[in-house]
Structure 1
């Protein structure tokens, strides 16, 4: 297949439009974008891999597309990565850092690339060790984007708006390659500010919970999104109060979805279906899921029993670069990918993600408590702006529930009592610790490992 076949908009299938892709102040047509990518592809053809400092810029978009056109694996490097992290990524991937992307250059080079070839190497960190390179195939990306286009009725008639980082699946694969595969117009706001989202006049918006919280806190900006077709939230659970605030201000119930770097998006609510706060919907086309209890037996689909979510299907990665043992350990003997996330599945197949088994499933006094449920209860208190719940070692209970909150004018005892009135008493926090802000990564996801201890 041609290096551009993955992205039909760059092959002329949707014609052309002068404002096809806008990133900040830079705007290119699909033809000009294809030309700039083609010129870069001719320059890097034959390289084993190419690394890109993935700033929120048109240069990053062109660099990634140039690699895809040339059939050269692209390694997006977070722009805020430190020297040790950057050196590890470049050395592990065997990639040289690309510089000097010329937005005005034009060329037509494109390689013949098999669908099973690696398109992207995305580095993801676990709880221990150096980041691992996740190998994403071209056909896996195509399968994932086509499944989401079907689930969200995403077409060339849409204008996608987001301001997410371009070194993650959400911002890069969904938020850039998705637009070029469906033929929708793309507006990247550089930063996901509420006023920028409001001014973009999109039909489809992507955001993470932190973004949607900020939008909901700006009523004028939120109301400006009312004409949109779909608001999509991902990368972490959307707090129920934010879901409800968006519904009240925009008239939209956000669509939530679930995925990982290794799997792309595997579960999502549908554009033409119900939306349920705290739930992520059904498996997308080409993906199967199962729930496995601690004893290795299937967990019942009753909406209550929790188990590890395991997946298989066309969107999965082809392995960790240079890590055959880690790749093997990521799969069960019968070929299912171990997500490391715990979930429930209801009788109707709807999935709810409890969280990471290592941080979000708390075993306290013989009970299994999902951190997200306690966090949503805390966030329902009017004084609480942010909340993160973890399990801390406890001699008697095994783990005790500890809440870290950002709040004004409220004490720990009041919050503990408030949760006890909202949930079962055993789910109340035993301790509440107040912080000026919660530690977050570049995608706005709370870094709970920094709260432990």
Structure 2
């Protein structure tokens, strides 16, 4: 197969920028030398864990493993001892790659450590490393799921999935080697690592990682020649909040070629605030650990707020009823579960043949568990997770996401989440969890119900409202709805 990173296998100008983390950077020649020096030491290592801090060492370590044809297992440095212990036992890496001087937790046991050393020195500028002849079906990474329904499962992602997803995004986003990406995402998951680091490397472009998200950093980098921004809804919400008083930020976003949000739905209210202040539309894409990317709004398409665009090249997507019957009506109203098929899919859950078998239909479609509607022109609008966001009330299928968007349009609502609760009459009733913009002037339940009914439909109005100081979120800013519990 062709190499994952063509620009590391060819002579490149010595000063062509590749990676920058804070004030530390590597050119492509530097990266080829640093990763090429490490790769031979990994050739017979089996799986290798990577202590995935937002550093040059993480990026070099993962690239080196991929050059050597060895699967990398990114570890979240913020994970607790129990989760880390489970992942290490399950994936059984032979060693862990980390930056020199990093203090590792006891939960990693006696796992051998290999420091990614001399990165800044970039030892030598000899011939590019001879990439192993690895089949495209071979594992590239083992990325662990969030574990919301049990211990995290290791999704084995083949090299084919990495290459085809990044190439499909290049087509959809007109992504080239001239693009400079800015992001501040963690590097232990698909969004931050595969899209945010490996994506620019496959294109021959560059990435500037902020370390920690700050609107000042976004403005600085976009105003200094960066062309693309990747973020999650929490980041774009903070951007939307800052824009009215930050003309430098507005100028920076207005000059960007592409603003991309993912990992969760970006509320329509934030879409509109950013567009009004900058003239630029944020586009959304849809993917998950097991599938990498499935759909996206295209750079040359209509940036329709509240949708995740159309299927990417090579990806088949269908919506199905509860009994698995494919939906034939793409009318923007009929709700079904998303199933996908294509070269972007993972191979298996590591050591879990039962879970792997349950995740696929008999004819090879992956059951995403996400519910959506599809417009006649193919645009997909996700309404929530089947397990937590699909509310069956009074004979209707209701997606929590559209109600959340409606609630966020109310000026007295700062944050909103919607769940379902058992109801003896309706089956389930709509429950809203609200963070008021002003705790001293909370909107009443009747006011919120009328607000939603006027925008959507009466049967979608919240029947119960709870008021909170904040919503529980994970590291990616996703609302953890399973933590929203009530006795009523």
Give the TM-score normalised by structure 2: 0.90
How far does residue 398 in structure 1 lie from its aligned partner after superposition?
1.4
Q: What residue in structure 2 maps to residue 435 of structure 1?
A: 468
When residues 396 and 126 of structure 1 are mapped into structure 2, their CA distance, relative to the original with a 3 A threshold, is farther
Q: Is the 8 A contact 2:154 2:350 kept in 1?
A: yes
1:106 paired to 2:104: no
Of residues 140-149 and 247-256 in structure 1, the stretch that sits farther from structure 2 once superposed is 247-256
Q: 1:94 aligns with which of 74, 92, 95?
A: 92
Matching of residue 344 in structure 1 with residue 373 in structure 2: yes
Give me the whole-angstrom Cα distance separating, in 1, the residues matched to 2:251 and 2:399: 33
Residue-pair matches, total: 451
Note if contact 1:289-1:310 (Cα within 8 Å) is conserved in structure 2.
Answer: yes
1:169 is aligned to: 190
- Whether 1:212 and 2:233 are equivalent positions in the alignment is no
Q: Distance in 1 between matches of 2:352 and 2:448?
A: 45
- Equivalent residue of 1:246, what SS? helix
SS of residue matched to 2:370: strand
Change (3 A) 1:37 1:148: same
Q: Which moved more, 1:108-117 or 1:190-199?
A: 108-117
Structure-2 separation of matches of 1:48 and 1:20: 27
Q: Which residue among 247, 257, 266 is the counterpart of 1:238?
A: 266
Which sections of structure 2, spanning at least 5 residues, go unmatched?
99-114
Question: 2:339–2:366: 8 Å Cα contact kept in structure 1?
Answer: yes
Structure 1's consecutive aligned runs of 4 or more residues displaced over 4 angstroms after TM superposition are none
Aligned-pair CA distance for 1:106: 2.8
Query: Is the CA contact (8 Å cut-off) linking 2:283 and 2:305 kept in structure 1?
Result: no
Q: CA RMSD in A?
A: 1.5
Tell me if 1:62 matches 2:86: no
Cα displacement (A) at 1:217:
1.1
Is 1:183 aligned with 2:208?
no
Distance in 1 (CA, whole Å) between partners of 2:425 and 2:345 is 41
The 1-side partners of 2:135 and 2:36 are apart by: 18
1:22 matched to 2:20: yes
After TM superposition, the structure 1 = structure 2 runs for residues 350-365 of structure 1, keeping only pairs within 5 Å, are 350-365=379-394
Taking structure 1 as the reference length, what is the TM-score of the superposition? 0.96
Give the match's secondary structure for 2:200.
helix
What does 1:373-412 align with in structure 2 at a 5 Å threshold? 373-407=402-436, 408=438, 409-412=441-444
CA distance in structure 1 between the aligned counterparts of 2:482 and 2:45, rounded to whole angstroms = 37
Cα distance in 2 between the residues matched to 1:175 and 1:71: 20
The reply on whether 1:229 has 2:246 as its aligned counterpart is no
Aligned equivalents of 1:45, 1:154: Cα separation in 2: 31
Contact residue 412 and residue 433 of structure 1 kept, 8 A? no
C-alpha distance 445-14 of structure 1, shift in aligned 2 (>3 A): farther
Give the whole-Å Cα distance in 1 for the aligned partners of 2:324 and 2:63.
43
Contact 2:296 2:309 in 1 (8 A): yes
Structure 2 residue aligned with 1:333: 362
Quote the offset at 1:422 in angstroms: 2.0
Instruction: Measure how far apart 1:298 and its partner are.
Output: 1.8
